[in-house]
A and B are shown apart, each in its own frame.
Chain A
Amino acid sequence: MRTYIIRRILGSLFVVFAVLSVIFVLNHLAGSPATAILQSDATPKNIAAMNRQLGLDRPVLSQYVSFIWHAVHGNFGKSYYSHGDALTAVWQRVPVTAELAFLTLILSTAIAIALASLNARVRKGWLSKIIDVGTLLGLSIPTFLSGLLLLLLFGLYWRGILPAGGWVFFTASPLGNLKTCVLPVIALSLPTVAIIYRSLRASMNDVLDRDYVSFGRAAGFREGRVIRSVVLPNAILPTTTVIGLLLGYLLGGSLIIETTLSIPGLGQEVVNALQRKDFPIASASIAVIAVVFVTINLIIDIIYAFLSPRIRAMYSRKIRVREI
């Protein structure tokens, strides 16, 4: 077990290192930011001086080492526009996106469990087909489209019911904060409900064929009770592995929905920074996203390993894991 955890931690560190390297390469390929920083003062002499100040006249390898060194210490430079520390600026945006992601995860898990339980009860019936197709269509609506449609509905036709865009901080008004969350959470939930539902459906169908389920029925439990207390607990474990996939969807989706609905989160920060070519902010936010993504996946994998006898057994017998 310890071997597995150490292996996963080392693997995660390597991924973070790889992302930092990619960020460096991108910065390098993007060329010198001197013209962008100096703007109207961009004379050849000033550009040369700025390049020297930024260390761009040094050999690439030395730039790389110093970039990684600074990045590991949380120093991604200063914003070209606000001139504040890039990581601090990015870090302030994290709570907004985290709140949206958290609410989406809870809402879509609840809906997906309800739908999957319903599907298990009416297996192979017309209702189960409707749920299947409905969730598939939810998966097929891109976040930018659902966001724009919600903006059209609540910003124009049904104006006044819910705030269509913008953000109220929780500290300013908890109720207002919850209201601003509704539309982005709906838009983000459409694909995530589908992802959780499809994974849950597959593992529930697996479990439904087991003998212990028939035994539960034979013992006289009602079908609803069988599903709630026998099928669901056994089926839910494999579903935890899709959380990594979900997280990717949520981060990508938050980039889009925060831009559409003008929500000051991490996603909007990335998009703004890239549109304005504010590379320190862009580098810092992508690094933060990668670290968050990798860390959560790591935690899930470790929890899963503790809960799953298969992985535990593989490592206790010193058999190497081989994915098939």
Chain B
Amino acid sequence: MIAPDVTEPDVFESHPQTTGKRFRLNALIIIGSVMVLLFIAVAVIGKIKGTSPLTQTTDFNGPPSMSHWFGTDSLGRDLFARSAAGALVSLQVAIGSVVVGLVIGVPVGMIAGFFPTTWLDESMMRVVDVVLALPLFILAIAVLGFIGTGPMHIFGFQLPAVSSVIVLIGIAAVPVFARVARSCVLVEREEDYVDALRVVGVSRTRILFGDVFLNVIPPVMVQVTAWMAIAVFSEAGLSYLGLGIQPPTPTLGNILLTGEGGLLLGQWWGVVMPGILIFLVIAGFNILGDGIAESIGGSAK
């Protein structure tokens, strides 16, 4: 077997049997992962420390100190505990919305890509075009502003308020993932290995969700990290505007909103501390995404 050409990797000339081998760690992936892990660590440490994010003390607007690492807010609540709890919400929203997007978007996109120019592909792409033609952040704000973010009721189950934000951001992710999966499958289905597997009698379903699927993963991963950054940003932005997850549940966005009140009185920690966390995780996911894109040889979007 001829050694794979690794000097000029190109997604559109990918050799499926080498995809796994070609994936290499690079500096961006490591730096990005470390930043995301730091963020997760804050959420975990907050959980372990066990300080309640809602307990009010008499230490109002205290600056960062040994007992309150991030300081306290106007109600005397520990900002580290609040930020850690908010970080946990951000992670839930990031992972939850990506899962929603993946579970719906990828299979639909793959099927459409494997059977192009059918009614399924045609109608799916029209829907995707319409959804992508809208400014999504504004629609998310509109939906939450009109309907509000109470607990959601589905089939008699009551879901916490976080889930309506997850579902909303997840639905916005569906067309993005569908489009990536489709364009990737469009390329893969022309590869020789697909014909080879057909010849030896493997069913199309098994080819699509077996071998082709493995090659769809890397480009989708780039979108996953990008979307996690978008999800964290959107959730924080929505709660910052007072339209997302409502207090008393702490989220990084509504902590910033509370912190804004004391900002011009010199209480910078109410904004800077949770702000650093938001920046850390968004930059982390973006750098990680760039690293993965560089590693698989596709250009980052």
- A→B interface (CB under 8 Å): 11-12, 14-15, 18-19, 22-23, 26-27, 29-30, 133, 136-137, 139-145, 148-149, 151-152, 155-156, 198, 202, 247-248, 251-252, 255-256, 259-260, 270-271, 273-275, 279, 282, 286, 289-290, 293-294, 297, 322-324
Chain A residue nearest in CB terms to B282 = A140
Assess whether A23 is in contact with B240, with CB atoms less than 8 Å apart.
no
- Complex Cα gap A11–B134 (Å): 12
Assess whether B130 is in contact with A282, with CB atoms less than 8 Å apart.
no
**Residue tally, chain B, CB below 8 Å to A:** 50
Expressed in whole angstroms, the minimum distance between the Cβ of B272 and any Cβ of chain A is 8
Quick one: given A29-B146, A274-B146, A279-B146, are A156 and B263 in contact (CB under 8 Å)?
Answer: yes
Which of A18, A142, A270 is within 8 Å of B236, CB to CB? A142
Assess whether A142 is in contact with B241, with CB atoms less than 8 Å apart.
no
The digit string for B186-201, where 1 denotes a CB below 8 A from any CB of A, is 1100000000000000
Assess whether A252 is in contact with B268, with CB atoms less than 8 Å apart.
no
Assess whether B286 is in contact with A289, with CB atoms less than 8 Å apart.
no
Which of A14, A152, A294, A322 is within 8 Å of B268, CB to CB? A152
The digit string for B238-282, where 1 denotes a CB below 8 A from any CB of A, is 001111000000000100100110011010100110010011001
Assess whether A26 is in contact with B271, with CB atoms less than 8 Å apart.
no
Q: Say yes or no: is B229 at the interface (Cβ < 8 Å to chain A).
A: yes
5 contacts between A and B (CB under 8 A): A145-B275, A149-B272, A152-B268, A251-B135, A275-B145
Residues on the B chain within 8 Å of A155, using CB: 263-264
- Complex Cα gap A11–B286 (Å): 32
Assess whether A26 is in contact with B282, with CB atoms less than 8 Å apart.
no
- Complex Cα gap A148–B261 (Å): 11
Residues on the A chain within 8 Å of B129, using CB: 11
Quick one: given A148-B260, A156-B266, A256-B240, are A15 and B133 in contact (CB under 8 Å)?
Answer: yes
Assess whether B141 is in contact with A274, with CB atoms less than 8 Å apart.
yes
Quick one: given A29-B146, A144-B256, are A247 and B135 in contact (CB under 8 Å)?
Answer: yes
Residues on the A chain within 8 Å of B229, using CB: 140
Q: Say yes or no: is B287 at the interface (Cβ < 8 Å to chain A).
A: yes
- Complex Cα gap A137–B132 (Å): 25
Assess whether B240 is in contact with A274, with CB atoms less than 8 Å apart.
no
Expressed in whole angstroms, the minimum distance between the Cβ of B192 and any Cβ of chain A is 19
Residues on the B chain within 8 Å of A151, using CB: 260, 263-264
Assess whether A282 is in contact with B263, with CB atoms less than 8 Å apart.
no
Q: Say yes or no: is B283 at the interface (Cβ < 8 Å to chain A).
A: yes
Assess whether B145 is in contact with A144, with CB atoms less than 8 Å apart.
no
Assess whether A152 is in contact with B283, with CB atoms less than 8 Å apart.
no
Interface centre among A11, A143, A252 (most CB of B within 10 A): A252
Assess whether A15 is in contact with B134, with CB atoms less than 8 Å apart.
yes
- Complex Cα gap A19–B143 (Å): 12
Which of B135, B138, B243, B253 is within 8 Å of A144, CB to CB? B253
Residues on the A chain within 8 Å of B278, using CB: 142, 145
Q: Say yes or no: is B136 at the interface (Cβ < 8 Å to chain A).
A: yes
- Complex Cα gap A26–B240 (Å): 22
Assess whether A274 is in contact with B282, with CB atoms less than 8 Å apart.
no
Interface centre among B116, B130, B236 (most CB of A within 10 A): B130
Assess whether B142 is in contact with A139, with CB atoms less than 8 Å apart.
no
Chain A residue nearest in CB terms to B301 = A198
Chain B residue nearest in CB terms to A275 = B242
Residues on the A chain within 8 Å of B130, using CB: 14-15, 18
- 6 more contacts with CB within 8 A, not counting A142-B278, A149-B272, are A30-B146, A141-B282, A144-B237, A247-B135, A270-B142, A275-B242
Residues on the B chain within 8 Å of A22, using CB: 139, 142
Quick one: given A15-B133, A155-B263, are A142 and B142 in contact (CB under 8 Å)?
Answer: no
Chain A residue nearest in CB terms to B253 = A144
Q: Say yes or no: is B177 at the interface (Cβ < 8 Å to chain A).
A: no
Assess whether B241 is in contact with A271, with CB atoms less than 8 Å apart.
yes
- Complex Cα gap A260–B263 (Å): 12
Assess whether A145 is in contact with B133, with CB atoms less than 8 Å apart.
no
Residues on the B chain within 8 Å of A15, using CB: 130, 133-134
Quick one: given A140-B283, A286-B138, are A256 and B237 in contact (CB under 8 Å)?
Answer: yes
- Complex Cα gap A142–B243 (Å): 17
- Complex Cα gap A18–B127 (Å): 11
Assess whether A255 is in contact with B133, with CB atoms less than 8 Å apart.
no
Residues on the B chain within 8 Å of A149, using CB: 271-272, 275
Assess whether B271 is in contact with A293, with CB atoms less than 8 Å apart.
no
Assess whether A270 is in contact with B133, with CB atoms less than 8 Å apart.
no
Assess whether B137 is in contact with A252, with CB atoms less than 8 Å apart.
yes
Residues on the A chain within 8 Å of B78, using CB: none
Expressed in whole angstroms, the minimum distance between the Cβ of B243 and any Cβ of chain A is 6
Q: Say yes or no: is B55 at the interface (Cβ < 8 Å to chain A).
A: no
- Complex Cα gap A255–B138 (Å): 8
- Complex Cα gap A308–B134 (Å): 24
Which of B117, B147, B260, B264 is within 8 Å of A26, CB to CB? B147
